[in-house]
Amino acid sequence: MKQIFSLLLISCQCFSQQTQKPPLHGKHWMAITGKPLAATAGSMVFQKGGNAVDAACAMLAATCTMWDVLSWGGETQALIYNPKTGKVIGINALGVAPTGATVDFFKSKGYNFPPEYGPLAAVTPGTFGGLCLMLANYGKLSLKEVLSPSLQLAAGYPMEAQTANGIEKQKQRIKEWPYSKKVFLPHTGEKREAPDAGEIFVQKDLLETLTKLVDAEQQALKKGMNRKDAIMAAYDRFYKGDVAAEFVRGCKEQGGLITMQDLANWKPVEEEPLHVNYRGVEVYKLQQWTQGPMLLQSLNILENFDLKMMGYNSTRYIHTLYQTMNLAFADRDFYYGDPAFAPAEPMQGLLSKDYAKQRAKLITYDKNNPNIGPGDPYPFEGRANPYLDILKQRGFSFDGEGKSKPGFVPAHDSWNNQALNTSPTGGGLEGTYMERLWAGTTSVEAADEEGWVVSITPSGGWVPACIAGNTGIGMSQRLQSFVLDSTLNPFNVIEPGKRPRVTLTPTMALKDGKPFLSFAVQGGDTQDQNLLQFFLNMTEFGMTVQEATEAANINTNQLWLSLGGTKTEDRKPGTGHLLLNENTPVVIRKELRKMGYTLTLDDRTSGPINAIYFDWQHGSFWGGSSNHGEDYGICW
């Protein structure tokens, strides 16, 4: 039976809302992600009778196959709302540091942080394991049905200009790795060595790998295994079988550290998400191995202010947001890490409403505070802070009530503003830094009429990716998010078997016990900044979901970068540096400069936000996708 789909168009002016894209309106299901063809993959699976988990897995697989700034060797972070239990479930499918990935190893090579490119940047691949876990436990269809669109894409699809031009831009680095060169540069020796936009891009090795995984499932079914066990048979072939062996061989051949034992020992994990209540809305994030709790901390602080009275993107609102995010980022940068490893992060204290009130008192309204540092959350969970000496060494101290006191900012904790390149638009941030700040990923949002909701922020193995042997799989680059210096973060020091603290951060919100919003965004350290403002745009300022995705944001750069160069100067905070939309009124710019801010102006102030709003009054879904990037949605 022929069906008609409501498409989220790249550009359309035939709608009543003042947005560049129209909102999606669906009744039965909704699928939104970073590529139009990948959204189509989600719709194909919905048409087969799949639920939102099946469709989300299909979109995840398609975005990996299309290199939407990620690959099959990357990592997956997800939140799932289960309508049968009324609970939000966390999926931790982030890889771990391999055998031999130690502080001494990387320091011996002259690094202050692990490298951002190549085989030594790789954690173990997590995405396929996460997909299998979600599909087996909460989906309805087989792996063969869910991977069918990706098999077709791997056999050949017309590559879009954004990816093709990105490959051409990175071709010199790609040539360092023979298997990457074979896949990405079909026109080696010509002026343009990457595929052209619209050229059919064929990935024979990846197609063979995906076929092997589907075959493992199908053979298991023929032997009488149930659906779940058959999916896990494919999982075993990826992490313990011939696919794993070729991945490890190709990794080691190019200088990587990942072993067969590393792959066999790794497992995806289901976890209880963290959450806070903001003015009657329960907001859920993954645990402190992501930066997600930073958004929760920010909401707790902002609850102490009347944001509506300040006005959307007024001087006072921008200043309050900036200071709030800096307070939360200072805690993120020092206290977040893998909860599976000692020491235990002080999350109870960090998410305490009383701690947030204490932090809120540090915000003054006359100027930027360049000395914001980590707070002391330990008293709010009945413990003494074991790291006060490190904080004092860094120049941060506390009064008798645990409030941070002004101190000097050590040279390694902030930029020398005079060293920054400036732009004609009045900004102070140079291109390389901004690329690191915005380093991309993608997002996946899905919902269905049964009540299943999925929000995923997958990443890793982006172009220029080092492909592991003849698997067609690009290795992750997430090892760079560890630190080698325990004084920067004693919870996130690299260690074999440990997960790095990542920026990847899907979000879900419930209201009156029912789904309210599901949303995610790409963009490195800016992710929770942009998601925070998206959420406030809807809850405080009454925007529709599409208006909120397109609305102008601000970004703070007063934080330690999670991605980037291997030297300390590549990562240190830009105190007082503020990204504003170029349409910000001149009077607000002047007022902010008087308060000590250095401004950068741009027409792009966030990564592409994708979101689903649940309209319980009318029994429908609203979909939103911001007005830049290739992100796209389909619904019915």
- Asked, for residue 122, whether it belongs to a domain, the answer is yes
Rg (CA), the chain: 23
pLDDT value, residue 1: 35
* Both tokens assigned to 206: 């990846």
- As a whole number of angstroms, the distance between CA 91 and CA 73 comes to 17
> What is the Cα 72 distance to its own chain's centre?
16
Contact (CB, 8 A) for 523 and 459: no
pLDDT value, residue 397: 80
Indicate if 325 and 472 belong to the same structural domain.
no
Q: What are phi and psi of 270, to 5 degrees?
A: -90, 140
- Please name every residue paired with 89 in a beta bridge, in sequence order, or none if there are none: 80
- Asked, for residue 285, whether it belongs to a domain, the answer is yes
Ranges of the chain whose pLDDT falls below 50: 1-16, 408, 416-428
Indicate if 252 and 352 belong to the same structural domain.
no
- As a whole number of angstroms, the distance between CA 567 and CA 109 comes to 12
Indicate if 230 and 83 belong to the same structural domain.
yes
Indicate if 496 and 535 belong to the same structural domain.
no
Closest CA to 372 of 319, 328, 419: 328
pLDDT value, residue 629: 80
- Asked, for residue 40, whether it belongs to a domain, the answer is yes
Three-class SS of residue 515?
Answer: strand
Angle CA(251)–CA(260)–CA(229) in degrees, nearest 5? Answer: 120
The count of domains in the chain is 2
- Asked, for residue 612, whether it belongs to a domain, the answer is no
Q: Which domain holds residue 310?
A: 274-438+517-602
Residues 6+ positions from 293 with CB-CB distance below 8 Å: 274, 285, 287, 332, 336, 347, 350, 351
Work out the burial of residue 165: count CB atoms within 10 Å of its CB; fewer than 13 is exposed, 13-18 middle, 19 or more buried.
middle
pLDDT value, residue 627: 86
Location of structure tokens 């930066």: 291
| Residue-wise pLDDT tens digits, 269-278 | 999 999 999 9
Indicate if 278 and 396 belong to the same structural domain.
yes
Indicate if 454 and 424 belong to the same structural domain.
no
Residues 6+ positions from 128 with CB-CB distance below 8 Å: 72, 213, 235, 238
Three-class SS of residue 158?
Answer: strand
- As a whole number of angstroms, the distance between CA 361 and CA 253 comes to 55
Contact (CB, 8 A) for 12 and 627: no
pLDDT value, residue 14: 34
Indicate if 463 and 402 belong to the same structural domain.
no
Indicate if 316 and 455 belong to the same structural domain.
no
Indicate if 376 and 465 belong to the same structural domain.
no
- Asked, for residue 510, whether it belongs to a domain, the answer is no
CA atoms within 13 A on the CB side of 25: 6
Dihedral sign of CA atoms 528, 94, 457, 470 in order: positive
Q: What is the CATH number of the domain that holds 366?
A: 1.10.246.130
Closest CA to 35 of 455, 635, 634, 636: 634
pLDDT value, residue 403: 62
The structure's pTM equals 0.94
- Asked, for residue 27, whether it belongs to a domain, the answer is no
Indicate if 387 and 263 belong to the same structural domain.
no
- Asked, for residue 1, whether it belongs to a domain, the answer is no
Three-class SS of residue 414?
Answer: coil
Tabulate helix, strand, coil % of the chain (nearest 5).
40, 15, 45
Strands (E), 314-439: 397-398, 404-405
- Asked, for residue 135, whether it belongs to a domain, the answer is yes
Indicate if 132 and 256 belong to the same structural domain.
yes
| Residue-wise pLDDT tens digits, 153-196 | 999 999 999 999 999 999 999 999 999 999 999 999 999 999 99
Indicate if 139 and 197 belong to the same structural domain.
yes
